Structure 1
């Protein structure tokens, strides 16, 4: 056992990433029992792997068969070679205690070799260990990444998707993922669009193909045909909603924005993400647009994107800037709120704040205050109206 510890120490010291690993004193000071049957798993997890006592207690139940630190030591040395930091190692072991039981020569090394062959660097693989959990010690991870990387466009995009759904690595490529991708392409989505759709909504790849077909049919019933610019957004909007919930949200939109059937259909077709908005968010915007701005329901129906903008960061501050400029004769043209909120922050400031430094020296400060959600002092707004 002492020879093994010396071998592991030599490996770590020769690794260029040794500085990123957890304190060597943990590995060196972990007790070497002359009696393998007395190996204390929980203490090893605390003293050598850096787990908190409650984590170690929970993890030790999955490692009760371990009689020696030999394999765990080899795994830790291997992870050190990949450049995992102490906290990363602790997190990986806490999430997947059986990682310590994986065979370095038969499982971990072949996996790393395969991932390296796909173009991943050691630092990429170290990040993957932290996110893939138990799937990292399955050789099937290599062919799955071989498929996902070109589909998603980059390893960075794959990690983003994995953060949303680590279980994606358990999905059957041939029976689930590939048929879903083929169908989405038949619907007019290219690899780039599929990546943009599936990174925030991984279930579009991993769910039953029949369910994906149902989502597409639902999007089409909303009036968003395949191949249109809004189709991807429509799929995203209905991904987590059944027919009953969609009908309920459409009815809420009608009542909240005083829309007819035709108007709500226009709004949803133009901006399907409306279906994702919370009732509270929709209500606040409807009250502001109707009672403060004074727009008509049909105006919003044809410009539903206006509902997507932040009340505090954009809608309300820009409305009161435009109102202030009009009241003080500083705006020589008619400007709608929709036109104002569509502008980037830079363009809005250049057009409607900077030109009035002399006539309204307080305007920039008041606008900045309003964007923080606070009531500015010079807009002439009563607190109850803010």
Structure 2
């Protein structure tokens, strides 16, 4: 028991002080005997905080991330030194745990488990042995959360537009139980007032259904006002709805103040958020500050750091060690922090895990590319390492088979791999075939060079110039005439 509480005393009885409000306590030592019962009963409501401290003592000893307290608590399977390490058996939401401590009995059973050479006692959660379901006086606590979703909550989420599978998963994952549909309806109405569409609300509830039980006026409205004052678009908030569950005073305001000091203008801050909303959700002291310090140690100036965060706020999701690795890898490629391409290469590499980077290298090399060709292409167009394998394969096969290009020709112009095959390459090829058929351009035109360039330049050169004489070029560019190959 002294190991359970994380204290150095000879027994829990020495640590426990009756004046703390525990009106009853039985703390038997683990001595290899039969199963016994450990009971802690808080006698008065004013001692609720002390009961919480006892539970936290258990958590801090065996749960390596106490910052999550008082997020979901855990029943523990605790072993003596000679047995296996302790394991988390089952999560339980803190509000229900604390409610059970307040004027209710909490029981854990030290269960006898046979081992080689003798029995070993483990403090183990046994379903059905914790008398939390009797003598309840608070209607807010009905039962210990189970792995089964609450049917009423699932039905409500389905009525909001979630699929049955998504509703069940969201309810189970967050142990959500909606007891007041009036409050949940008020939350949805508030979101609509601030510009959330039905699709935005569905996306929000799929990831963060817990906001349905938040106080709409006291908790949610101040956060929505804060985001609105910054000009953050609601559909971007819907992509990272857990921001609405973060503390306004303890996280959102300090994080924005920190980022404003790094990035500068609110326009750039807004642009950075819209690109990677998740970057604002990371912890200020444990993620943001260490990441920025690592960027400084790597040799970036304040202006470079500001620009990097604007083009990819997600850099803040990287650990300092990973940031240092990226600096070393880019320097090994011969790139300097003074190179104008450095920040864009850093942005791309920070979005790819090390093992994914190596796998993508092997994938490109399967087309016959050398490592030197590939790294040069990466410096020119860093985003080629962010595309899916299927997307790359379709584009490369099309360029090789239809345009009769060599793989070296393609990788020499890596920007073409960033073009959408369906929305860009195929319509442009259709326009070129129409112009070839009408004799407006030569059939031996350099196709890859003709396909490259901005939409405005292509439209001006190949569509608008011939639209009056060859109306089909407009239809081809709009996708109404399909590309069937260069004949």
Contact 2:378 2:385 in 1 (8 A): yes
Residues of 2 paired with 1:145 and 1:164: CA distance? 13
Residues of 1 paired with 2:401 and 2:375: CA distance? 23
Give the secondary structure class of the aligned counterpart of 1:293: coil
Counterpart selection for 1:144 from 243, 255, 268: 255
Residues of 2 paired with 1:362 and 1:119: CA distance? 48
Give the secondary structure class of the aligned counterpart of 1:330: coil
In the superposition, relative to structure 1, how do residues 224 and 328 fare at CA in structure 2: closer, same or farther (>3 Å)? farther
Once the two structures are TM-superposed, the CA of residue 305 in structure 1 deviates from its matched residue by 0.7
Q: Show the counterpart of 2:364.
A: 253
Counterpart selection for 2:270 from 152, 156, 171: 156
Once the two structures are TM-superposed, the CA of residue 302 in structure 1 deviates from its matched residue by 2.1
Residues of 2 paired with 1:317 and 1:86: CA distance? 32
Once the two structures are TM-superposed, the CA of residue 304 in structure 1 deviates from its matched residue by 0.9
Q: Show the counterpart of 1:197.
A: 312
Does residue 209 (structure 1) correspond to residue 323 (structure 2)? The answer is no
In the superposition, relative to structure 1, how do residues 337 and 223 fare at CA in structure 2: closer, same or farther (>3 Å)? farther
Q: Show the counterpart of 1:318.
A: 428
1:371-382 equivalence runs, <5 A: 374-375=482-483
1:74-223 equivalence runs, <5 A: 94-96=209-211, 99-100=214-215, 104=218, 112=222, 132-136=243-247, 139-152=250-263, 153-154=266-267, 156-157=270-271, 159-160=273-274, 163-164=277-278, 168-171=280-283, 173-185=284-296, 186-188=299-301, 189-198=304-313, 202=314, 204-223=315-334
Q: Which structure is higher in strand share?
A: 2
Q: Show the counterpart of 1:362.
A: 472
Residues of 2 paired with 1:122 and 1:295: CA distance? 45
Gap regions ≥5 residues in structure 2: 1-136, 143-149
Once the two structures are TM-superposed, the CA of residue 180 in structure 1 deviates from its matched residue by 1.7
In the superposition, relative to structure 1, how do residues 136 and 123 fare at CA in structure 2: closer, same or farther (>3 Å)? farther
TM-score with structure 2 setting the length: 0.51
Contact 1:234 1:272 in 2 (8 A): yes
Residues of 1 paired with 2:300 and 2:379: CA distance? 17
Give the secondary structure class of the aligned counterpart of 1:96: helix
Give the alignment's Cα RMSD to 1 decimal.
5.0
Larger radius of gyration: 2
Q: Which structure is higher in helix share?
A: 1
| Range with bigger deviation, 50-59 or 272-281 | 50-59
